[in-house]
Chain A
């Protein structure tokens, strides 16, 4: 951090007797798991303003993808985010299958769903642990992460990898779930079913957690709708929004999936951090039920419509068109756009919109009026993923202020799209 930012800027802002000062949080700070810069204006311990500056984790992944063939892109997409490491490939495979007109056999769709929901369990448990840590409750962190090991082990059993599962491929999946592995899955699910009530007790019935999270970081229903929040962040504010419910894909169409809001726990919707915990814990339960359904109703048949990878490469090279894929990642909707041209192995255009991108602005109403002590838990409450979020960087060779407003950004984006599409 540069030294003048550290300096206390005591100064009169509103020309009344009240003085505010600014405190930088980030780009590197214990409250943040990934780099992002907040500059808070504080009046005493109370937050009166916040400026958010992302852009520290941009890796140019989309550009890299446009230099590789689609199979290589798949593994690049997996590495957009280490926690949503199935969500991005699921969205990408759907986009490419949409563009190239590849069918996915039903069994593959069910296996994709199972892995996707297992990832939701692990992601929500991971989030719960992080949230507990931000509250200074490390015991809960260790308890939850100990419990999370079970789903990580199961994922390792099913896919061969603990993270970055490398399971979906265009047209299907790469590994089957045979009966003996399904047995392991049932065992893990019953483990979680037994533990879920303990976890709900540990989080929702703990006095000190309630003291720190109730009415903290409130995002009202109207704000959530207006700011286009997605995923658990929106659902905690009572917005019944879930890609699995609204536009069913994979195996979700066979089930009756309902967006979970705090009302399902029998409490009125407030939209605070407590509601975020409620929604995520209940979604773990929902995921358990989905996986059970999938395991029981798993159809037989092929794993992939194009088993030979070399043949798949040829099909993808011939494909021409554009496609979209969307998936309800643990943090909300992830959206991939891809454009293929016949004769070119690499995609001509690839756009990724991660859930944090949509949830970013909901931080502002959440922070306003709360205290410094609430910053870590509010920052964590949307389950941010900065490297998912950072999809653009501005290289300003002339120096000076590098802030672009909406109109200019739209203009720049259109120019770039035209450049890309020739």
Chain B
């Protein structure tokens, strides 16, 4: 499994720009559908593109109290980290670009990097709102990482018990072998529990209502992002858009990696095209149910409530899912 330099570069460019565009398109859908659910018209679909363009040409203000290099560096780190995850995720019918060079554990680490970058950026901004936001983001990170890790590891472990010898921590392998058909009824229950906990972690990972406490507009005026403007804010905005794609692609890869080209009897370029389209639909469905509906249907929680939610019920649910998967193997 080696990747040619040229393939990697061209593939990388396609994935980067594609995901950026796609993220913004989905953000447009997010705003439009949320508006309609609230009985509003909402902005046009291309509004996120306007926003990014406008931010890019705006002045980049660095507060007097900020640690300049950290403050300016963190948006880049954040965007780079989420973009890097894309190289390890199977997208549609295509295998991950860097397949073989990193696995699920790397993805898990990379997922934490944007949050960490925002925390450091928030502290570096030197404003009390950003500091409070950074503290909250830290608590959030510590809360949702545990159920997330349990979910990812359980799936890979169960697959390892079924396919001994295979490199089951590789997302390409997981996506190629959906677990649903390979486990018994107990295993299916376990997988459902793990899926639910991953779906609940998704809005928290993306800092969306009810888990948008690090930004909490009415409380701390944007929190982490309070001092960011111009190009830096645009980069965080893009990182957020891409992260939305990343999280839902992860859910799709782990739990719904099915394609429709093969059952329909399509092959070749047409099949790949249909599968890619179907993949877009799948991530849209995941985004719709984990981000859009959730963010219009709930009030913002408080940081202690979020911590309690993830530490007790969500962790318990993920552990229960793991236990069911283990029982499924033993019995």
Contact = CB atoms under 8 A, between A and B. Distances in A.
Q: Give yes or no for direct A-B contact (beta carbon below 8 Å).
A: yes
Interface of A: 3, 6-8, 21, 23-24, 29-31, 45, 132-140, 142-143, 146, 206, 208-209, 211-212, 371-376
B161 interface: no
Contact of B218 (A8, A134, A211): A134
Contacts of A29: 221
B195 interface: no
A171 B187 CA distance: 80
13 contacts: A6-B128, A8-B131, A29-B221, A30-B218, A31-B221, A137-B298, A139-B37, A142-B38, A206-B299, A211-B301, A212-B302, A371-B303, A373-B219
Given A8-B131, A142-B40, A208 B219 contact: no
A372 B132 contact: yes
Interface in B215-236: 216-221
Contact of B65 (A7, A45, A137, A376): A7
Interface stretch (B5-13, B86-94, B206-214, B273-281): B206-214
B128 A211 contact: no
Nearest to B213: A373
Nearest to A211: B305
Contacts of B218: 30-31, 133-134, 136, 376
Contacts of A139: 37-38, 296-297
B213 A6 contact: no
A21 B127 CA distance: 12
Nearest to A32: B218
B59 interface: no
Contacts of A138: 38, 296
B4 interface: no
B299 A136 contact: yes
B305 A143 contact: no
A142 B40 CA distance: 8
Contact of B299 (A24, A208, A372): A208
A165 B209 CA distance: 38
A28 to B, nearest CB: 10
Nearest to B297: A139
A24 B220 CA distance: 10
Q: Which of B65, B128, B220, B303 has the most CB of A within 10 A?
A: B128
A176 to B, nearest CB: 35
B132 to A, nearest CB: 6
B299 A209 contact: yes
A30 B300 CA distance: 15
Given A31-B218, A142-B40, A212 B132 contact: no
Given A3-B64, A8-B131, A136-B300, A372 B210 contact: no
B39 interface: yes
Given A23-B132, A212-B302, 19 more contacts: A6-B65, A8-B131, A21-B128, A31-B219, A45-B135, A45-B303, A45-B304, A136-B216, A137-B209, A137-B298, A137-B300, A138-B38, A139-B37, A142-B39, A206-B299, A208-B299, A211-B301, A211-B305, A373-B216
Contacts of A134: 218
Nearest to A138: B38
**Considering the complex of A and B, which 6 residue pairs feature the smallest CB-CB distances, nearest first?**
A136-B300, A137-B299, A142-B38, A208-B299, A135-B299, A373-B302
Contacts of A375: 219
Nearest to A136: B300
Contacts of A6: 65, 127-128
